[in-house]
Structure 1
Amino acid sequence: MATIAEKIQSGFELARQINEAVWMDGRDSQQLSVDELCDYVGQEFSVNITIQVLDVETKAVLGFIMRYEEGRRACVYIVKNTPIRWKRLVGVKELCHVVVDTEEDFNPNGVDTLQRMMSLVADMDAIENLALRSEHIAEMVALELIYPHEDRRAHMDAIGRGEATFADIGTRYRLPEIIIQMILTPAYLAMCDKYWRAVDEARRAKVVALRAAANEG
């Protein structure tokens, strides 16, 4: 079983691939609508995905994904009264479950997952916490798709100089201001730096191995 660190690195690599593919298609991933990303993910991962809005009043749950037919079909549910910027983040995050989850991450007991999300969890790699771990990883990958990592240090500098605010950046990337504040904390920036370095190192090692194999052939 993969550890949470291995799963995050794998998720960041998948985010890199999606961002690169979308960019090569002449589009900016941060400007993709949730519907467009849904079509892309569904095609790339061979899953028939639909999105439905739930006409309910709740603040406890903003959205969730349900899988059917052994994962070949999925439906993303988003609560109707969710604020527009949260709605976009929730939609992308739920689609990221299709991207990063494996069977071990599935949990048919959504209530259990919610309860674990509201409690302190010591071991994210414990079997009983895999669905919760999946929630954290899907959110991290979603943020890498919506708000490119390479822009963040410059934004921190601009904020430090008084040339930008968290609200300005939230407007640009259509994210809640509180999420921008979290992403730009030193601890979160350092964590993402670490995983992106690991992704780059793994890619370089793969290229070296492929060249060595070609030379031997």
Structure 2
Amino acid sequence: MMINETKARSVFKKVQQVHQEYRAYVIGGVPVLLSVEDLYRVVSQMYGLTINKTQVIFDGEFVRGLVERYPERVEVRVRSSQAVVWKRFTAVKELCHVIIDEKEDWSTDGVETIRDLLVEYFMTDGEEAAKVSQSEMLAEIAAIELLYPFEYRDGDLKKLAAQHTTIAKIADQHGIPGVMVGRALEEHYHANVASMLWTELDEAA
């Protein structure tokens, strides 16, 4: 499965802009554990939107959250029956749709999106992902980049190799699920995607 390269570059650029605004907003330096509430305030100011986040009760094996769009506000719904780290990650991932999605990426059919994602995640033939699936995957990537910034990862990889830390400890430091730390540190993604795109952005600055 392939993610559109141009779209990925745009996503990383938007994440960089949010990083910069967040760092300017936070007084006293940026903590390792990102504040989801501060992030919501920053994005609300950047995009001129009222963004409301609520926990809701709903059943669903695959649905952790959703976003509802209105002309001047956004409603983010996070499933209440999940671990705190998943609530944090879900809240940021849904917020990332506000940051990265263009109108053609918006989906009004959640069931079809989920069915499509289940197929897309298991594709191995290199076909470019459908737009809605691509939007979901890019929102997940953007959430990882916001909650577990790239600047920490080389050091963490060295500590892991020396057995001075674990995935669980890293996940606890950043308040995210261990599986997302694993995805961020996966060799192909870290070396060939994140590293390449962050280097390009740094050189262009």
| Fold shared per TM-score above 0.5 | yes
Aligned mates of 2:138, 2:58 — CA distance in 1: 27
- The change in CA–CA distance for 1:199 and 1:157 in structure 2 (over 3 A counts) is same
Match of 1:214 in 2: none
Alignment length, in residue pairs?
195
Q: Runs of 5+ in structure 2 lacking a partner?
A: none
Identity, % of aligned positions: 28
Mapping 1:1-217, distance limit 5 Å:
4-25=4-25, 26=27, 27-28=29-30, 30-69=32-71, 72-120=72-120, 122-124=127-129, 129-190=130-191, 191-201=193-203, 203-204=204-205
| Aligned counterparts of 1:158 and 1:31: Cα–Cα separation in 2 | 19
Q: Deviations over 1:168-210 (max 9, x none)?
A: 1011001111221221111110111111123234x24xxxxxx
List 4+ stretches of structure 1 deviating above 6 A: none
Distance 1:56 1:89 in 2: 17
1:52-76 C-alpha deviation (Å, 9 max, x unpaired): 211123322100111123xx22111
SS in 2 for 1:40: helix
Larger Rg: 1
Deviation track 1:23-71 (CA, whole Å, cap 9, x = no partner) reads 22325265333222222111110122111211123322100111123xx
For the residues of structure 2 that align with 1:199 and 1:186, how far apart are their CA atoms?
Answer: 20
**Contact kept in structure 1, 2:9 and 2:197, CA below 8 Å:** yes
AA of the residue aligned to 1:93: K
TM-score norm. by structure 1 comes to 0.84
Report the CA distance shift for 1:47/1:62 in structure 2 as closer, same or farther (over 3 A). Answer: same
Residue pair 2:22, 2:39 contacting (<8 A) in 1 also: no
Which has more helix, going by share of residues?
Answer: 1
Gaps of 5+ in 1: 205-217
Change in Cα spacing, 1:30 to 1:115, as seen in structure 2 (3 Å) is farther
1:76/1:29 CA distance change after superposition, 3 Å: farther
Whether the 8 Å contact between 1:8 and 1:137 is mirrored in structure 2 is yes
* Letter in structure 1 aligned against 2:49: V
* Amino acid corresponding to residue 62 of structure 1 in structure 2: R
- Normalised by the length of structure 2, the TM-score is 0.88
Query: CA RMSD, aligned part only?
Result: 1.7
Instruction: Output the CA distance in 1 between the equivalents of 2:63 and 2:113.
Output: 11
